[in-house]
Amino acid sequence: MIFRRSRAALLAASILSVPVAMSPVMVQPASAQWIVYDPTNYVQNVLSAARALEQINNQITSLQNEATMLINQARNLASLPYSSLQRLQQSVQRTQQLLAQAQRIAYDVQQIDQAFTSTYGNASLSASDQQLVAQGRERWQNTVGGLQDAMRVQAGVVGNIETNRAEMSALIGQSQGATGALQAAQAGNQLLALQAQQLADLTAVVAANGRAQALSEAERAAAAEQGREQRRRFLTPGSGYQPGNARMFPNGN
């Protein structure tokens, strides 16, 4: 009886010890090798990267716009590489020289007043016939000189027409090819200067023609006054004609 119990206990102990001996040993790894995927975090990372890329693109676009603006400003501030000022000034100077070369009675107020008082005034009652004739000749010379001066000014202005045509063509070409606002404005200003020079030539022609016409009218008026004085002297009673002996031959034959 005792033997059977001991044998049963030994068998039970053997059975209980088998799983422990036959089971594999479980060892805890030093570190986990598992990859964890978080969809929410992934979406947030993608959105952040997209926003960063958009900001970079915006910065690039802004830099491109600034560069374009600087280029346009440089074009707008670029000066016109053409100037007609010197040639226009030369044309004006030529016309001024012709006006300054006016003969006898020039464009001077005091000189004009003096000439009209002494030469174009009323005929002097005390002047001799020779003096009246000399004054008439002086007035005629003034008129001829004024007409000559007017024609010289007209010739000078006509000579400026070709220069003005060339300058106008060049300035219009520069204006059409302007790369910026400043160049276009400068071309426009030079065209206005050309127009001012043409107006100066026109003024010179009008002044020269007016001077010549005024001298001619003044001569006509003075000649009429002188004619009245000479007629008065001729009709004034005096000694008149006194007959005398006329000898055609010295010997009286």
Q: What is the pLDDT of residues 162-172, one digit of tens each?
A: 999 999 999 99
Q: What mean pLDDT value characterizes the chain?
A: 83
d(CA 119, CA 215): 11
> Is 38 a member of any domain?
no
> Is 34 a member of any domain?
no
> Is 253 a member of any domain?
no
> Is 116 a member of any domain?
yes
> Is 105 a member of any domain?
yes
**Residues recorded for the chain:** 253
Q: What pLDDT, in 10s, does the model give residues 200-248?
A: 999 999 999 999 999 999 999 999 988 888 888 888 876 554 555 656 5
Total domain count, the chain: 1
Q: Encode 22-52: b = buried (16+ Cβ within 10 Å), e = exposed.
A: eeeeeeeeeeeeeeeeeeeeeeeeeeeeeee
Average the pLDDT over each of 48-57, 65-74, 233-242 and give the range with the smallest value.
233-242
Range of the domain at 119: 85-234
> Is 225 a member of any domain?
yes
**Taking the model in full, what pTM does it have?**
0.66
